Amino acid sequence: MIKTVFDLEVFKISYQLAMDIFSCTRSFPKEERYSLTDQIVRSSRSIAANIAEGWGKRIYENEFKRHLIYGMGSLEETKVWLLFARDCLYLELNSFEELNKKCDELGAKIYKLYENWKTL
């Protein structure tokens, strides 16, 4: 049974993804601290934050769904920053592929929740 946002699988996965990305950015060059590092950390955190904000407004079905869409937008932004990190050689290929796979799986789950959510 889902009682809080913390019970939602998409929230748990998005939060863990943000923490995984935060961890791998610790090895990025210092000169990227206020550009790529900041951007990828903020966009990845925004996914979970949008899901949580939408959950708080879930009695209004369209509001919850709107925030799921915002979360999907932040997810797509995160994927672009991951590409930059890979191509700038800040992320090894296997780390990039693992994070990108998690992004794709999360995106599918958010979309499924969006499609199936009905406010009672």
pLDDT at 110 exceeding the cut of 60: yes
Q: What is the mean pLDDT of the chain?
A: 95
Spans of all domains in the chain: 5-116
CATH of domain 5-116: 1.20.1440.60
DSSP 35-97: IIIHHHHHHHHHHHHHHHHHHHTTTSHHHHHHHHHHHHHHHHHHHHHHHHHHHTTSS-HHHHH
Q: What is the pLDDT of residues 20-75, one digit of tens each?
A: 999 999 999 999 988 999 999 999 999 999 999 999 999 999 999 999 999 999 99
**How does DSSP classify residue 4?**
S
